[in-house]
Amino acid sequence: MATETLTTLANGLRQNYGNEIVMSLVDSGGSHLKSIVPPNSAIGRLAVNNRIFFTGMGADRGGRYAAQFPVYYSAGAAASYAQGDAYPSATNVSIAQALANWARYWIPMEMDGLAIHAAQGNSVVGDLDSIALEFELKLKALFSRIENDMVKAQSGNNLSGVKTWMTNTGNFEGLSLTNSWWQPALKDAATNKVTRAMIREVFAQLADQNARPNEIWCSRTQYNLIAEVLGADIQYIEVASVEGLIRTFTLDGVPVFAIDSMEPSSNAVNNEIWFMNTDQMSLHFLPQDTPQTDVELETMPGSFEGYPVGIKAIDPGHDAESMIIKCYPQLVCKNPSQFGAIFDLATS
């Protein structure tokens, strides 16, 4: 029966990959799936900063709700007073509600019927190696798509990537980015090359907004151009990555990282430099239910409420077993005003 063969296959995949997927997202040092989260990636930087979670933001309410949180943008003003002055009238705190929704991602996987029947239990026999390899490649393709969307502006069914809030127009998480308290510090380079003055200007804007970045992200192109600008004044440090220590330079003491997904011109951000506060953002994976049938593959230990990646069996209509590998991610930013960007930079 199909459920029996799928159970046999799922047991083998679960044993070999269950914890590997989780560890690749939170501690890749113990995972051989390092290419799911490469060091020069947005997901990799969030992993290093412990900003990836397998729950929603409403963990106290079951962990499955879309992120919804209050944004306090005005608390009134304090004032000095003289002896005998009357008490002033109170001003209510101004609050807006932000809402970030879940996105859906999937990729199909199909295995030949003969290869499945050649696999005995959890043993690696017959063509199980090729099945495991396909499963691993599908996982990499799934997370590669999520990584690309992480840096892009939201469109269609994609999650809201960083570019979505690196602007002062449109809406993000249900709130207008025209509000000064909900927009990042921005510098228009007007197609010029990056300069020290541009960098200082963004740092100054962020300081005015009581903000301080802990990382700077950019494409490899901009990374090299910044290095040229710094010249003999460049200062290198060693910083943590998902694959151990790496060497990079700093701007005003803030480490700069070349993010590979920011380089392709199709992602439309290779002409930008981002001043990031990773404490104000997080990547969530909706925990999928513990399966009630034997055609669902979970990918976290049983002590967890649910799993960041699941597999749903489907009927391909021929001698094969087909599955959909799926996950539900959500990228949350709690305060865009803690971020900054230089945009429309020259790329050569």
Helix, strand, or coil (residue 242): coil
| Dihedral angle of Cα 245, 248, 249, 252, to the nearest 10 degrees | -50
Beta strands 310-314 and 171-172, pairing class: unpaired
**Whose CA is closest to 12, among 144, 110, 118, 108?**
118
pLDDT at position 342 over 80 = yes
Which two structure tokens, joined as six digits, stand for 160?
């809201």
The span from the CA of 321 to the CA of 217, in Å, is 42
Q: Hey, which bits of the chain come out as E strands?
A: 52-53, 67-74, 94-100, 105-112, 171-172, 175-176, 185-188, 215-218, 236-241, 244-251, 254-258, 273-276, 281-285, 296-298, 310-314, 320-327, 329-333, 340-343
pLDDT at position 15 over 60 = no
| 304: confidence class by pLDDT, cuts 50, 70, 90 | very low
pLDDT tens for residues 164-177? Answer: 999 999 999 999 99
The span from the CA of 134 to the CA of 58, in Å, is 35
Q: What is the pLDDT of residue 3?
A: 46
Of 54 and 238, the structure prediction assigns the larger pLDDT to 238
